[in-house]
Amino acid sequence: MTTFDDVVAFHGHTCPGLALGYRVGEYVIRNFSPRAKDEELVAIVENDSCAVDAIQVLTGCTFGKGNLIFIDYGKQVYTFLRKPDGEGIRISIKWESPPETPEEADAWRKYQNGDSSEEVLRIVHHRKTKKLKAIFEASTDELFDIKEVRMEVPRVARLFPSLRCQVCGEKVMETKARVKGGRIVCIPCAEEGKL
């Protein structure tokens, strides 16, 4: 089983978002589907938070394989589908972090404004440690609202040839190329009016 340390090594640091993603991924592979070797499991994530890195590591759902789909709703919601049957689960985070003290709120505000003093960092890291402990000690019912869903399963990831943009010279996926002024161009070159 992949450990939280493995996830931290991939992500680069420890944080509450990563811990929540770890708990999501852990639930999925223990209760819904084994880790994806290819595209037999699909994850639809509704945010681009630290949690998604943990979900990738644990479930094997990645952008490169085409079985990690990002929908930018900014919601802490993760849907997993099994191919080919379309059975799925939707996991919504319902966990609330422990109440913040006035000192912690002040330190976080200072940290967000660029204060990396020893005292501010001490308070911020202490708060993160409390949140991590609470996440790992919480029951599944305290963390998540889980619903069964049925959805149309996304088709197998398709591979497309690359073309060379006739303005900047960089490669672009054929389906993302544009024609402007009779030339094949990438989206940035088409939008910047470089022709």
CATH number at residue 188: 3.30.60.20
The pLDDT of residue 193 = 60
The pLDDT of residue 187 = 92
Residues 6+ apart with CB under 8 A from 13: none
Tokens of 72: 């930018």
Tokens of 189: 């070159």
Asked whether 79 and 32 are in contact (CB, 8 A), the reply is no
Q: Is there a single domain that holds both residue 142 and residue 178? A: no
The pLDDT of residue 156 = 67
The pLDDT of residue 85 = 84
Backbone angles phi, psi at 56, to 5 degrees: -60, -50
In a domain, 79, yes or no: yes
Q: Is there a single domain that holds both residue 142 and residue 182? A: no
Separation of alpha carbons 149 and 46, rounded Å: 16
Q: pTM of the predicted model, to two decimals?
A: 0.83
Q: Is there a single domain that holds both residue 11 and residue 50? A: yes
Separation of alpha carbons 60 and 80, rounded Å: 12
Q: Which domain holds residue 166?
A: 162-192
In a domain, 101, yes or no: no
In a domain, 19, yes or no: yes
In a domain, 171, yes or no: yes
The pLDDT of residue 132 = 97
The pLDDT of residue 3 = 96
The pLDDT of residue 194 = 53
Which residues in the chain land under pLDDT 70?
Answer: 154-157, 193-195
For 118-161, the three-class secondary structure string (H helix, E strand, C coil) is HHHHHHHHHHHHHHHHHHHHCCHHHHEEEEEEECCCCCCCCCCC
In a domain, 15, yes or no: yes
Reported as a single tens digit per residue, the pLDDT across 103-134 is: 999 999 999 999 999 999 999 999 999 999 99
The pLDDT of residue 152 = 78
Q: How far is CA 110 from CA 99, 103, 118, 119, 188, in A?
A: 18, 11, 12, 11, 37
In a domain, 21, yes or no: yes
The one-letter amino acid at 75: K
Provide the β-strand partners of residue 148.
89
Domains identified in the chain, total number: 2
Q: What is the CATH number of the domain that holds 11?
A: 3.30.1330.130
Q: Is there a single domain that holds both residue 52 and residue 146? A: yes
Tokens of 195: 């022709």
In a domain, 104, yes or no: no
Q: Is there a single domain that holds both residue 9 and residue 40? A: yes
Q: Is there a single domain that holds both residue 53 and residue 143? A: yes
